[in-house]
Structure 1
């Protein structure tokens, strides 16, 4: 019996001890402050480029289509070569159309001879009629023949004009200097008038480069057009998809007449020299517009201070009680190791630039001296 009582007392004593241990408040030790370096946000001028997706276009481009029917008898260029205005490109049955033209001229000469004879007969018979030396019917026939001869001359002249036009179109010449594409027809191909596409020619120097800008930027580009910078300033440059920079600067040619209501953008065209034929119609590139207004001040911060979270950007701003606050910001152009802040910060703010990976909103920090450069 004594053993049973002893066991019960020990059991309940254990339960009391366990309960007291369970109910004892757990005291968690606060994490130590994170050692960080800070940067004092300040304004400054900056030279950088705004980049705009662009497309290269030819200033002049034309499709070469046959205006006569016939067989290709001659091709006088190599695919893709540079051609000059007036250069002979295609022969479309030229000899056949030359023969048709010669025949039309001969027919016209016969008609002119017949007209001359009919005129003489009509004049002579009219004089004889005045002397009652010929019948009226003969004179009437002569006048009718004269009118018919005149109609024949008119018809023959029209035939000559038509044959001359066909003859001219039987040989195609380059309408301007440019690059010709790959021929769509080969020697001996039968082509149809106004249907068959022979080739395409596009001008190649200089070239147009088009961008679409938001309508809010129209005043800026209008000012750039009205007050062009010196050529040496390289205000408008271009780079390719591999980030290589095109060696020659361009000029702002025009701003389109209207805004696209679907996109709220307007087309702006630049002109770039293309003496080495590096630019091709349809090529994708980027136009870089220099922003170097000395009167315009920007908030600049080190890029390493920026934290990205699901497509949004944040920095940690130092508060008065040695804690940090996570602040959402809108970014502008990156300039080397710094970046422009468009909104979310103000001049004089202190932001964390080192140790941001260890921080969370409200974390305690231990500071080094603020940096300003």
Structure 2
């Protein structure tokens, strides 16, 4: 039986069409991960200036030639203990004035003793009518005058002793001395209390910063009547220095001003930091970081969902992430984001990874595309690869 040429041609054409059909493309792979819910600490940073716990100006309170209490001791820039002798201001004239005041007391006491004996003698004679009553009253008045003279002389002596004490200047507090502002040998205290140096107690440092009105309301929400148990005062305050380094000792707030400045709409707040090893100095600039919850609308909430910051995208509709549904189809998911934080427990040899807080839009079950974002588009099929599997494949 012969095959029809027309039928043979149809069979050959059909075979060629089947051979030319290509298999459908496989969905492109993307790396996915679920959002992680963990405790997040967000620091609200405020510019601050550091100051010592105490700062005292050392001034000359008497007139005279200045000299050092110890010629061999260099005070400038060094730590000194309280009551360390620092300066002497020409004590000789004041010692002589004290000696003269002491002599005046002794003279007044001698006069008083004489008046006392005279009064006793006249009083005894007055009882026997040997002298008039007026003589007795005059003797009593002279005795009272002598006693007042003694009191006045003693007051002048005390003043002289106090003034003499001013000639020896001691450190009023323990702390670090500044340079000498007046060289020894100069006349000081001639027309005013000459500033000789300053001393700062930097064992404890204060950081003063201004808190705007809105964040201050959050502070006040956490304030209670009991300062010792108040969360706002017990918080671990972070200090970031001008070079970007973080001071290794946390501080705490110990004072909030009792009113808001109507001109700036801010209130001054003070944080205190230990400085036993003297790593901080008065006048330094820093950022005081107040630890707050991840959600500014709920200050008591400590946990939040976080996702890699690189997977947060934005368009005219706002922030969103790409998620893969149960059918492995890409879907857009709108989210409300918060601050970004560093991922904890990172390898110090690798670049730092940032995570972004997601306050709304996720429930923790989503498969979020964290790598291969350029392949994602609404409704596109993909092949999801878990992040752990992708990491092992890279190794």
The two structures have a TM-score, normalised by structure 2, of 0.65
Instruction: Note if 1:50 corresponds to 2:56.
Output: no
- The CA distance in 2 between the partners of 1:151 and 1:224, in whole Å, is 53
Seen in structure 2, the aligned counterparts of structure 1 residues 68 and 89 have a Cα distance that, compared at 3 Å, is same
Q: Structure 1 pair 266/186, CA: closer, same or farther in 2 (3 Å)?
A: closer
Once the two structures are TM-superposed, the CA of residue 113 in structure 1 deviates from its matched residue by 1.5
1:83 correspondence with 2:99:
no
Q: Does the aligned pair in 1 maintain the 2:33–2:370 contact within 8 Å? A: no
Aligned pair in 2 of structure 1 residues 110, 224: CA closer, same or farther (>3 Å)? closer
* Offset at residue 298 of structure 1 (A): 1.5
The secondary structure found in structure 2 opposite 1:63 is strand
Q: Structure 1 pair 270/246, CA: closer, same or farther in 2 (3 Å)?
A: same
Of 99, 103, 107, which aligns to 1:102? Answer: 99
Is the CA contact 2:50–2:205 (under 8 Å) kept in the aligned structure 1?
Answer: yes
Task: Tell me which of 162, 165, 175 is aligned to 1:165.
Answer: 162
Match of 2:337 among 330, 340, 346: 330
Query: CA offset at residue 248 of structure 1?
Result: 3.8
1:127-166 pair list within 5 angstroms: 145-166=142-163
C-alpha contact 1:303 1:339 (8 A) present in aligned 2? yes
Partner deviation per Cα, 1:335-368 (whole Å, 9 max, x = no partner): 2324232445323455554455798xx7775634
- For residues 234-277 of structure 1, the C-alpha deviation after alignment (integer angstroms, 9 at most, x for no partner) is 95554433233434444x363536363654666252332x2321
Paired residues of 2:76 and 2:179 also in contact (CA < 8 A): yes
Task: Please tell me the root mean square deviation across aligned C-alpha atoms, in Å.
Answer: 4.7
Q: Displacement, 1:122?
A: 4.1
Task: Measure, in 2, the Cα distance between the counterparts of 1:363 and 1:245.
Answer: 43
Residue 206 of structure 1, CA deviation: 3.2
Among 189, 195, 198, the alignment partner of 1:197 is 195
The separation in 2 between residues aligned to 1:260 and 1:181, in whole angstroms, is: 35
Give the Cα–Cα distance (whole angstroms) in 1 for the partners of residues 94 and 160 of structure 2.
7
Which position in structure 2 is the counterpart of 1:206? 204
- With a CA cutoff of 8 Å and minimum separation of 6, indicate the structure with the bigger relative contact order: 1
Q: Any residues of structure 2 matched to 1:319-358 within 5 Å, and which?
A: 329-336=336-343, 337-343=353-359, 345-347=361-363, 348=365, 351-354=368-371
**2:237–2:271 Cα contact (<8 Å) kept:** no
Range with bigger deviation, 188-197 or 322-331: 322-331
Unaligned runs of 5+ in 1: 1-33, 229-233
SS in structure 2 at match of 1:100:
helix
1:254 aligned residue = 254
Return the offset for 1:163: 0.8
**Higher mean displacement: 73-82 or 316-325:** 316-325
Distance in 2 between residues matched to 1:119 and 1:70, nearest whole Å: 42
TM-score (normalised: structure 1): 0.68
State the 1:197 CA deviation.
2.8
CA distance in 2, matches of 1:265, 1:148: 60
Distance of 2:249 and 2:283 partners within structure 1: 19
- Which secondary structure does the structure 2 equivalent of 1:105 belong to? helix
State how far apart, in whole Å, the 2-side matches of 1:292 and 1:201 are.
Answer: 40
The one of 270, 273, 277 equivalent to 1:271 is 273
- 1:341 and 1:253, CA in 2 relative to 1: closer, same or farther beyond 3 A? closer
For residues 23-38 of structure 1, what are the structure 2 equivalents within 5 Å? 37=30
Shift of 1:159: 1.0
